[in-house]
Amino acid sequence: MIFFSRIHALVRKEFQSLLSTKSGRLLLIMPVILQTALFPFAATLEVKNASLAVFNEDHGRASVEMMQRFAASGAFTRIIPVWSGEEVDQAIGTRQAMLAVHIPADFSRKMAAGESSPVQVILDGRRSNSAQIAFNYLQSVLDVYLKDRASAAGRVVPSEIVARNWFVPNLEYTYFILPSLVAIITTIGSLIVTALSVAREREQGTFEQLLVSPLSPEMIMIGKAVPAVAVGFFQATLILIAAVFIYHVPFRGNLALLYGAMFFYALALVGVGLFISSVSKTQQQAFLGAFVFMVPAILLSGYTAPVENMPVWLQHLTWVNPVRHFVEVVKGVFLKDASFGRVLVLVWPLVVISGADVPAQDRVRAGVFHFKSSE
Amino acid sequence: MNFISWRRLRALCWKETLQIFRDPSSILIAFFMPLLMLFIFGYGINLDFSRLRIGLRIEDGGAEAAAFAAALTGSPWLEVHVYDSRAAMERALVDSQIRGFVVIPQDFSRKLKQAGETAPVQLAADGTEPNIAQFVRATVNGVWQTWQMQRAEDRGEDLRREIMLEPRVWFNPSAESRNFIIPGSITVIMTVIGALLTSLVVAREWERGTMEALLASPVTRTELLLSKILPYYGLGMVSLMLCVAVAHWVLRVPFRGTITALWVVGSFFLLSVLGIGLAISTGMRNQFNAAQAALNAAFLPAVMLSGFIYEISSMPVFLRGFTHIIPARYFVSAMQTLFQAGTIWKLLLPDILMLLGTTVVFIGLTAKLTKRRME
């Protein structure tokens, strides 16, 4: 019983130091709001409002029809007509246009003669990913146009591809971003809270006071872990609410399963955070340590670029990255109604990672003994 | 307006330089972080899908189905896993083991042979990964088209596409994403050095009261400002050159510009971010808050709103407007030009002018804030 009342007191103290100042409270909530408002619009690989430069040297009906299809597709909000090769250079060079289409003078003539008519498309390689996506748009618009022409002429294609996107039929990027954000933002919150709390106490000298109190090292650890887990849950819940009610991303899975996995995720972060704080002497070092861990962890989580595109050795290395596993959990449960078994596969690495705080515990214990023996 | 004593300025700069080299955290930020981040961006952030994992289920026993399956398996862009049951394949999609699947339905070969009938091929892509889904669709579509044309040719039929789009990628002919991501990522790295490092270090001086000691000495405002800017400018330039050298020789992203142009563009950008860092630290005076503010005001915008991964033109209007005051945006554009196109002043000049503008704004802001503090 004493165990619980002591822990209770300690946790209360931790919450007080976390929430006592206005700037402290603000730091827990402002980044969440700011990033939830900003990320879905900014951090997306979606190609919208692309502009297309058109250099049409042909005046036949087919080229006009094709251009009309491109203009009507909605993928390109701006069509820039240009009249010379230099203007094409200019439009691509100055980033006015992402793609440029060059229709040669003999385009309609070749089509009428039953030949295959080439159309040159220039892609801005300085943004090759977006340009390729835009090019794929163009290609699919053209495919539809050619199919329409074929059926108008009474020709039947021997085969066709019937494509469908599972889980997110219209490929809305917000469906991809918001579940990932749940993982990313809680990472920042929980990690900084744990990493800085021990460092702050050490800098202010109150850590020694904790050590001489009747609290055991395990209790101190639990006292530091509870607020971090709470912060993680709180921030994740905020984003979940925003995702479902503001961005209208349908939640398809089991909420209890998600929170269960989140508990282990938060523990993994606490493990990493305590490890960082145990090796830092000052708050500044703890902050830098957290930063040095967080930037690679978030960038290599599969959010920015898929894990499978990395070199194989790096893919194996990302196994120790808690963010990678949890991004998968949230996306899986949120959008695909992932099964318990699937979540379990993703959670057990988190349990292993949370063991990172074992050295930290040892250090605290060592501190205790060191302190007691010097008395 | 102010009298500058070169002797005093030299002494101040020397003091600042010593401080940089004696502080392990500044060395960590200036040399370790850049290399770590270049490494992450170089190997971890890859948007080129070399091997897309897809599932394949052949429900048709005909030779045509086998031929199409062979075309898919033979594609260098696909890693095809053949499944015995549809249920197992769908589970693999839910578990993210595959990113999409192709089903060749039962009567595929029969319908293909029959004139006037269209044989469908079913394609499903994992919509929870919109970028990957786009590439799965485009790749399978490409394989299918080539196969169909090859088949028609073999049978002596004319199935020529009336219009062929011929893509050509400018600036980055191999369309490798690292060729634009690495030059862009140097921007993020320089932002960390310029803004995070200075904001932490200068805030610490305020926190410890050594700034007041400086202010009590006969040092003028201009001298003080210059003594904070010059050593960090030097440090930043060394880091920049180091990054470009590593990018060029180690990561093999060809640098086509001249060192002079790099120096000019880099100087203005560095001065802008130093201005941001100094303004933050002068305004905040507290290390922890300064670091948080630097993270939110400099680092996140440099990652999300600079256009180095996420296309600015795809953002909503209010965000697009906001990106104009972010120095990183112009530096990303200039670096991509320098790396991929070379020293083309026509393209660089607008960026340089805008960077000059942001430099004046942020250094001016710092000067103003310092003045207020001194009074």
- Rounded to the nearest angstrom, the minimum Cα separation between B241 and chain A is 21
Contacts 24+ apart (CB under 8 A), A9-18: A10/A215, A10/A219, A10/A220, A10/A222, A10/A223, A11/A222, A11/A223, A11/A226, A11/A227, A13/A223, A14/A197, A14/A223, A14/A224, A14/A226, A14/A227, A15/A227, A15/A230, A17/A197, A17/A200, A18/A193, A18/A197, A18/A227, A18/A231
For chain A, give the number of residues. Answer: 375
Instruction: Indicate yes or no: CB of A176 within 8 angstroms of CB of B132.
Output: no
Q: Give dist(CA B50, CA B46) in Å, integer.
A: 10
Which of B146, B46, B143, B159 is closest to B102 using CA atoms? B143
Count other Cβ atoms within 10 Å, centred on residue B1.
5
Q: Which domain does B108 fall in, by range?
A: 52-154
Per-residue tokens: A176:
């991809």
- Whether the per-residue pLDDT at B3 is higher than 70: the answer is no
- Rounded to the nearest angstrom, the minimum Cα separation between B106 and chain A is 14
For chain B, give the number of residues. Answer: 375
Q: Tell me what the mean pLDDT of segment B49-69 comes to.
A: 91
| B184 assigned to some structural domain | yes
Pairing assessment for the beta strands B100-104 and A76-82 based on DSSP bridges: unpaired
Q: Give dist(CA A234, CA A50) in Å, integer.
A: 38
Residue of A nearest to B113 (CA): A158
Torsion of CA B265, B271, B273, B277, to 10 degrees: 170
pLDDT of B290 reads 81
pLDDT of B46 reads 87
Chain centroid to CA A194: how far? 22
Q: Give dist(CA A51, CA B166) in Å, integer.
A: 18
- Rounded to the nearest angstrom, the minimum Cα separation between B267 and chain A is 22
| CATH 3.40.1710.10 is right for the domain spanning A50-152 | yes
Count other Cβ atoms within 10 Å, centred on residue A369.
12
Chain centroid to CA A35: how far? 11
| B310 assigned to some structural domain | yes
Q: Which residues in chain B are contacts of A296 at CB distance < 8 A?
A: 36-37, 40, 44
Q: Which residue has the tokens 């930290």?
A: A360
| B285 assigned to some structural domain | yes
Instruction: Indicate yes or no: CB of B123 within 8 angstroms of CB of A92.
Output: no
Q: Which residues in chain A are contacts of B141 at CB distance < 8 A?
A: 139-140, 143, 161, 163
Q: Which residues in chain B are contacts of A60 at CB distance < 8 A?
A: none
| B319 assigned to some structural domain | yes
Side chain identity, residue A364 = V
Q: Per residue of chain A (375 residues), what is the pLDDT tens digit?
A: 677 888 888 888 888 888 887 777 877 888 889 889 888 888 888 888 889 999 999 988 888 889 889 888 877 888 999 999 999 988 998 888 999 999 999 998 888 888 888 999 999 988 888 898 899 889 989 988 988 888 888 777 788 889 999 999 988 889 999 999 999 888 888 888 888 888 778 877 887 787 788 888 778 888 888 988 999 999 999 999 999 999 999 999 999 999 999 999 999 998 888 888 878 877 777 888 888 888 889 989 998 889 988 999 999 999 999 999 999 999 999 999 989 999 999 999 998 888 766 665 666 555 544 443 333
Instruction: Indicate yes or no: CB of B170 within 8 angstroms of CB of A122.
Output: yes
The verdict on B233 and B323 lying in the same domain is yes
Element (H, E) at A121: strand A117-124
| B169 assigned to some structural domain | no
Chain centroid to CA B4: how far? 41
Q: Which residues in chain A are contacts of B53 at CB distance < 8 A?
A: 308
**SS3 for B324?**
coil
Residue of A nearest to B335 (CA): A126
Per-residue tokens: B367:
């000067």
Between B37, B180, B291, which is nearest A287 by CB?
B291
Instruction: Indicate yes or no: CB of B127 within 8 angstroms of CB of A131.
Output: no
B97, B124, B154 - which closes a domain: B154
Instruction: Indicate yes or no: CB of A146 within 8 angstroms of CB of B53.
Output: no
- Rounded to the nearest angstrom, the minimum Cα separation between A331 and chain B is 7
- Rounded to the nearest angstrom, the minimum Cα separation between B185 and chain A is 12
Partners of residue B167 on adjacent β-strands: A121
The count of CB pairs under 8 A between chains A and B is: 289
* Residue A282 and residue A357 in contact, taking contact as beta carbons nearer than 8 Å: no
Query: pTM of the full predicted structure?
Result: 0.86
Count other Cβ atoms within 10 Å, centred on residue B275.
26
Count other Cβ atoms within 10 Å, centred on residue B226.
17
The verdict on B124 and B232 lying in the same domain is no
**Strands lying side by side in the sheet with B119-126:** A159-166, B119-126, B100-104, B52-58, B78-82
Residue of B nearest to A23 (CA): B289
| B159 assigned to some structural domain | no
| B167 assigned to some structural domain | no
Pairing assessment for the beta strands A99-103 and B163-170 based on DSSP bridges: unpaired
Q: Which residues in chain B are contacts of A116 at CB distance < 8 A?
A: 160-164
pLDDT of A364 reads 58
Per-residue tokens: A135:
């090019």
Between B45, B162, B169, which is nearest A116 by CB?
B162
What are the backbone dihedrals phi and psi of residue B95, each rounded to the nearest 5 degrees, phi first? -85, 5
User: Which residues, including other chains, have CB under 8 Å from residue B89's CB and lie 6 or more apart?
Assistant: B55, B57, B83, B98, B101
- Rounded to the nearest angstrom, the minimum Cα separation between A220 and chain B is 24
Mutate to test the interface with A, among B72, B111, B136, B170 (most CBs of A within 10 A): B170
pLDDT of B1 reads 44
Phi-psi region of B311 (alpha: psi -120 to 50; beta: other; left: phi over 0): beta
Between B28, B44, B200, which is nearest A299 by CB?
B44
Give B195-244 pLDDT, tens digit per residue.
887 887 778 788 788 878 887 888 888 888 888 889 999 999 999 999 99
Q: Please report, rounded to a whole number, the percentage of residues in chain B having pLDDT higher than 90.
A: 40
pLDDT of A369 reads 41
The verdict on B206 and B323 lying in the same domain is yes
Q: Render A191-243 in DSSP notation, one character per residue.
A: HHHHHHHHHHHHHHTHHHHHHHSS--HHHHHHHHHHHHHHHHHHHHHHHHHII
* Residue B122 and residue A354 in contact, taking contact as beta carbons nearer than 8 Å: no
Mutate to test the interface with B, among A159, A277, A312, A326 (most CBs of B within 10 A): A159
Q: Please report, rounded to a whole number, the percentage of residues in chain B having pLDDT higher than 70.
A: 97
Q: Which residues in chain B are contacts of A50 at CB distance < 8 A?
A: 313-314
The verdict on B242 and B104 lying in the same domain is no
How would you label B153-168 residue by residue, b for 16+ Cβ within 10 Å and e otherwise? eeeeeebeebbeeebe
- Rounded to the nearest angstrom, the minimum Cα separation between A161 and chain B is 5
Residue B105 belongs to a domain with what CATH number? 3.40.1710.10
Q: Give dist(CA A350, CA A347) in Å, integer.
A: 5
**SS3 for B54?**
strand
- Rounded to the nearest angstrom, the minimum Cα separation between A318 and chain B is 10
* Residue B45 and residue A299 in contact, taking contact as beta carbons nearer than 8 Å: yes
Q: Sort A297 into a burial class: Cβ within 10 Å, 0-12 / 13-18 / 19+.
A: buried
Mutate to test the interface with B, among A117, A129, A316 (most CBs of B within 10 A): A129
Instruction: Indicate yes or no: CB of B96 within 8 angstroms of CB of A328.
Output: yes
Q: Sort A174 into a burial class: Cβ within 10 Å, 0-12 / 13-18 / 19+.
A: buried
Band the pLDDT of B19: cuts 50, 70, 90.
confident
Q: Which residues in chain A are contacts of B134 at CB distance < 8 A?
A: 133, 136, 171
The verdict on B276 and B332 lying in the same domain is yes
Our count of domains for chain B comes to: 2
Pairing assessment for the beta strands B52-58 and B119-126 based on DSSP bridges: unpaired
Q: Which residues in chain A are contacts of B45 at CB distance < 8 A?
A: 299, 304-305
Its ipTM equals 0.85
Partners of residue A52 on adjacent β-strands: A79, A99
Side chain identity, residue B136 = V
Between A27, A124, A171, which is nearest B170 by CB?
A124
Instruction: Indicate yes or no: CB of A119 within 8 angstroms of CB of B166.
Output: yes
* Residue B364 and residue B208 in contact, taking contact as beta carbons nearer than 8 Å: no
The verdict on B191 and B108 lying in the same domain is no
Q: In sequence order, which ranges of B29-118 are alpha helices (DSSP H)?
A: 33-39, 63-74, 86-94, 108-113
Q: Which residues in chain B are contacts of A288 at CB distance < 8 A?
A: 25, 28-29
Give B80-102 pLDDT, tens digit per residue.
999 999 999 999 999 999 999 99
Instruction: Indicate yes or no: CB of B319 within 8 angstroms of CB of A38.
Output: yes
| B56 vs B19: which has the higher pLDDT | B56
Between B163, B288, B333, which is nearest A117 by CB?
B163
| B170 assigned to some structural domain | no
pLDDT of B259 reads 94
The verdict on B224 and B309 lying in the same domain is yes
The verdict on B64 and B119 lying in the same domain is yes
Band the pLDDT of B129: cuts 50, 70, 90.
very high
* Residue A119 and residue A67 in contact, taking contact as beta carbons nearer than 8 Å: no
Residue of B nearest to A46 (CA): B314
Q: Give dist(CA A147, CA A145) in Å, integer.
A: 5
Residue of B nearest to A342 (CA): B95
- Rounded to the nearest angstrom, the minimum Cα separation between B242 and chain A is 19
Q: Give dist(CA A164, CA B242) in Å, integer.
A: 47
Instruction: Indicate yes or no: CB of B170 within 8 angstroms of CB of A123.
Output: yes
Phi-psi region of B265 (alpha: psi -120 to 50; beta: other; left: phi over 0): alpha
The verdict on B131 and B189 lying in the same domain is no
* Residue B302 and residue B310 in contact, taking contact as beta carbons nearer than 8 Å: no
Mutate to test the interface with A, among B79, B104, B296, B313 (most CBs of A within 10 A): B313
Q: Which residues in chain B are contacts of A47 at CB distance < 8 A?
A: 311, 314
pLDDT of B17 reads 87
**SS3 for A165?**
strand
Q: Which residue has the tokens 């606490």?
A: A270
- Whether the per-residue pLDDT at B286 is higher than 80: the answer is no
The verdict on B27 and B118 lying in the same domain is no
The verdict on B263 and B128 lying in the same domain is no
Sequence spans of domains, chain A: 11-43+172-373, 50-152
The verdict on B210 and B302 lying in the same domain is yes
Q: Which residues in chain B are contacts of A159 at CB distance < 8 A?
A: 108, 111-112, 118-121, 144, 148
